């Protein structure tokens, strides 16, 4: 089974994965689950959490991992197409995890690969396993996703996490609060998709405009590489900062999430606040990806 886009995952499938992930959370011995299976992690762009957590997940399930984290030294550098790379590597392994800058690259890889493909980020398009671990973290805190007010803040246009998280959450009865400058706002197509699914969407400029209503504040990084000039980037750098002042305004049970890495969006003084869930969120990447890997490799 491929995991390519959040849009293509049904609510039943998502619930099934989250339920199975719970089983993997205690560090018991699961080393017979995927014993003898080989995973390729093809990271055409750098990654820390995603690559390591996939590797950890596969090894905890008893499988082996091979792959690369840079295209330096690979045949891609010599001009090999993605299609050829996938056709070749898929003959060596039982599953492929791919991160690639081109949008739709995971879908194309899945079309030419006889083994399952998992999208670990294709440009700004999607990152379905991040969405799954985000949903897992939220569900873990609130037991149910229904009725929640979720604020997503920062770069909603180019970031690869805010859009798929919104699409994933749209399977439940949630209200979304988008906090961003107009230049980095959520695209109209996604907002229309959400409203067609009867999801209430509110757009505001400041964290303060939404904070009191939120159950979840999901921070994202303003990405330097998305701006044409350093000057443009500096206009937005540091616009959204979660600090003690913001946390004092936040509801007692609100959680703060971030896909990491952070730059300056959350000051370190917030780390010790019990509402700070971003490191726990990163930790959840392992059981969720164990669940995804098992389903990808063992189910059609």
Cβ proximity to another protein, 190 vs 294, nearer residue: 190
Is 99 catalytic? The answer is yes
From 6, 37, 41, 50, active-site residue: 50
Report d(CA 145, CA 126) in Å as an integer.
Answer: 21
- Smallest distance from the beta carbon of 107 to another protein, in angstroms? 5
Cβ proximity to another protein, 123 vs 181, nearer residue: 123
Element (H, E) at 189: helix 188-196
From 7, 22, 49, 237, active-site residue: 49
Tokens at 236, concatenated? 């937005």
From 28, 78, 143, 300, active-site residue: 78
- Smallest distance from the beta carbon of 76 to another protein, in angstroms? 12
Residue whose pair of structure tokens reads 């400041």 in the numeric block = 206
Q: Which residues contact 121 (CB under 8 A, 6 or more apart)?
A: 45, 47, 50, 99, 100, 127, 130, 160
Is 221 catalytic? The answer is no
From 6, 60, 85, 99, active-site residue: 99
Cβ proximity to another protein, 85 vs 277, nearer residue: 85
Cβ proximity to another protein, 125 vs 177, nearer residue: 125
Cβ proximity to another protein, 27 vs 188, nearer residue: 188
Element (H, E) at 204: strand 200-204
- Smallest distance from the beta carbon of 206 to another protein, in angstroms? 29
Cis peptide before 261 (omega within 30 of 0): yes
Q: For residue 286, what are the β-bridge partners?
A: none
From 60, 100, 125, 127, active-site residue: 127
Long-range contacts of 193-197 (CB under 8 A, 24+ apart): 193/167, 194/166, 194/167, 194/170, 197/170
Is 50 catalytic? The answer is yes
Select from 89, 72, 99 the least CA-distant residue to 38.
Answer: 89
- Smallest distance from the beta carbon of 18 to another protein, in angstroms? 23
- Smallest distance from the beta carbon of 108 to another protein, in angstroms? 5
Residues that bind another protein (CB under 8 A): 5, 7, 81-83, 100-105, 107-108, 111, 122-126, 189
Is 78 catalytic? The answer is yes
- Active-site residue set: 49-50, 78, 99, 127
């Amino acid at each position: 089974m491929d995991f390519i886009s959040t849009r293509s995952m049904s609510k039943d499938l998502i619930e099934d994965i989250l339920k199975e992930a719970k089983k993997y959370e205690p560090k018991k011995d699961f080393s017979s689950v995927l014993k003898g299976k080989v995973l390729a992690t093809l990271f055409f762009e750098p990654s820390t959490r995603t690559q390591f957590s996939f590797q950890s997940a596969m090894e905890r399930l008893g499988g082996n991992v091979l792959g690369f984290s840079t295209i330096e030294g690979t045949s891609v550098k010599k001009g090999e197409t993605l299609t050829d790379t996938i056709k070749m590597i898929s003959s060596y392994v039982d599953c492929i995890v791919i991160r690639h800058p081109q949008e739709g690259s995971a879908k194309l890889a899945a079309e030419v690969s006889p083994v399952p493909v998992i999208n670990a980020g294709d440009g700004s398009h999607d990152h379905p396993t991040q969405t799954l671990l985000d949903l897992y973290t939220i569900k873990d805190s609130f037991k149910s996703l229904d009725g929640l007010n979720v604020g997503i803040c920062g770069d909603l246009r180019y970031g690869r996490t805010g859009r798929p998280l919104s699409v994933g959450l749209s399977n439940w009865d949630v209200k979304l609060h988008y906090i961003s400058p107009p230049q980095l706002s959520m695209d109209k197509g996604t907002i229309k998709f959400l409203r067609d699914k009867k999801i209430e969407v509110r757009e505001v400029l400041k964290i303060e405009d939404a904070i009191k209503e939120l159950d979840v504040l999901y921070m994202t990084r303003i990405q330097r590489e998305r701006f044409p000039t350093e000057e443009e980037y500096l206009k937005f750098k540091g616009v959204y900062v979660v600090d003690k002042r913001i946390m004092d305004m936040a509801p007692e049970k609100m959680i703060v999430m971030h896909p990491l890495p952070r730059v300056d969006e959350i000051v370190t003084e917030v780390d010790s606040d019990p509402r700070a869930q971003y490191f726990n969120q990163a930790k959840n990447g392992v059981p969720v990806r164990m669940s995804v890997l098992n389903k990808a490799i063992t189910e059609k």
